[in-house]
């Protein structure tokens, strides 16, 4: 049996944003490994579709409609999960949105949605679940969706980038807190590079400034062309979590390149560099 099945089979997994993309891929994989999967998503129909796919493959899952941008919703999710299942072995704080547009042109509501979903959704997922995860005394795994964007910078994706830098440092601090208080709880920063999903779908850009559409389309096309297969990416990321690694990558070489660039930038203390590639994505 694969090591991830040894670790996860028989446990309960809670995956936010499990209705599509990486969350759905991780949910299907967790179901295939023998976990009972709670698929939580803003889009109830999408969450149910993931549950149906898990059931068709012989697994067990439940769909929950939730908005992770609202802290009380994560309390409601945790209350439900602990009363229905007793404990949680795998918590993936995955729900996230991309936001495209210059800092001063992104409307306040879209800034709020981005920060509340991508950052506060992760923070309050941890706040709502961890006390009861600690109280069971059992081994558990928490994965927070960082990104290669947690180590890089990109004009006109600022709202997204700041959340990913924050989720990365949040996860590092959380790891230390668990080392102090609950070493049986393993924390991972999940760092996808480019995995084929609909995060840059032109239809997901409601509320962005009109001039963001072409940038979004270029990223969407790039992801379609060069992105990693979703199911393979989710499989390798869960394998790394099962091995208790803090750093969990879809494409380690892409992460390495971004991290090396960040290190060089910090050591050199140069001004941020506008690369030709970034200019091309923003301006065409």
Sheet holding 185-191, edge to edge: 60-65, 36-41, 12-16, 90-93, 140-145, 185-191, 247-249
Place of tokens 């590092």: 172
Strands 140-145 and 60-65: unpaired
CB of 21 to ligand NAD, least distance (A): 2
Q: Which stretch binds ligand NAD (CB under 6 A): 62-70, 127-135, 256-264, 273-281?
A: 62-70
Phi, psi of 218 (to 5 degrees): -65, -40
Query: Helix 44-56 crosses helix 21-32 at what angle (to 10 degrees)?
Result: 30
User: What is the signed CA dihedral for 99, 104, 107, 109, rounded to 10 degrees?
Assistant: 80
Smallest gap from Cβ 220 to ligand NAD, in A, equals 11
Query: Would you call 85 a catalytic residue per the annotation?
Result: no
* In 148-212, alpha helices (H): 158-181
Based on the shown chain and the rule CB under 6 A, indicate whether residue 69 belongs to the binding site for ligand NAD.
yes
Contact status: 36 vs ligand NAD (CB under 6 A): no
- 66 vs 88, beta carbon nearer ligand NAD: 66
Within 181-220, which residues bind ligand NAD (CB under 6 A)?
192, 194-195, 197-199
Distances from the Cα of 146 to the Cα of 149, 240, 279, angstroms: 8, 15, 24
Among 11, 17, 101, 205, binds ligand NAD (CB under 6 A): 17
Interface with ligand NAD, residue 237, by CB under 6 A: no
Report the distance separating Cα 73 and Cα 100, nearest Å: 26
Number of amino acids touching ligand NAD (CB under 6 A): 29
Of 78, 92, 95, 242, the one binding ligand NAD by CB under 6 A: 95
Choose the binding region for ligand NAD from 13-21, 100-108, 235-243, 253-261 (rule: CB under 6 A).
13-21
Given the rule CB under 6 A, which residues bind ligand NAD?
16-17, 19-23, 41-43, 46, 66-69, 94-97, 117-118, 145, 147, 192, 194-195, 197-199
Active site residues: 160
């Amino acid at each position: 049996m694969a090591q991830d099945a040894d670790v996860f089979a028989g446990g309960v997994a809670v995956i936010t944003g499990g209705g599509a993309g990486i969350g759905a891929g991780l949910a299907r994989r967790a179901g295939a490994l023998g976990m009972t999967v709670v698929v939580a998503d803003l889009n109830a129909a999408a969450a149910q579709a993931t549950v149906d796919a898990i059931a068709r493959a012989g697994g067990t899952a439940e769909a929950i409609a939730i908005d992770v941008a609202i802290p009380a919703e994560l309390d409601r999710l945790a209350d439900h999960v602990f009363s229905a299942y007793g404990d949680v072995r795998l918590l993936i704080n995955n729900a996230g949105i991309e936001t495209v547009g210059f800092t001063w042109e992104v409307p306040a509501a879209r800034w709020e949605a981005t920060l509340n979903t991508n950052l506060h959704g992760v923070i309050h997922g941890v706040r709502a679940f961890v006390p009861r995860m600690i109280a069971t005394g059992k081994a558990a795994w928490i994965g927070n969706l960082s990104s290669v964007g947690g180590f890089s910078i990109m004009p006109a994706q600022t709202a997204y980038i700041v959340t990913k830098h924050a989720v990365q440092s949040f996860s590092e601090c959380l790891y230390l807190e668990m080392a102090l208080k609950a070493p049986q709880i393993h924390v991972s920063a999940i760092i996808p590079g480019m995995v084929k999903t609909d995060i840059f779908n032109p239809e997901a850009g409601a509320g962005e400034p009109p001039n963001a559409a072409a940038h979004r389309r270029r990223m969407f096309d790039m992801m379609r062309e060069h992105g990693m297969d979703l199911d393979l990416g989710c499989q390798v990321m869960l394998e790394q979590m099962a091995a208790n690694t803090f750093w969990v990558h879809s494409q380690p070489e892409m992460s390495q390149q971004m991290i090396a660039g960040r290190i060089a930038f910090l050591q050199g203390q140069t001004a941020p560099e506008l690369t030709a590639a970034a200019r091309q994505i923003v301006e065409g």
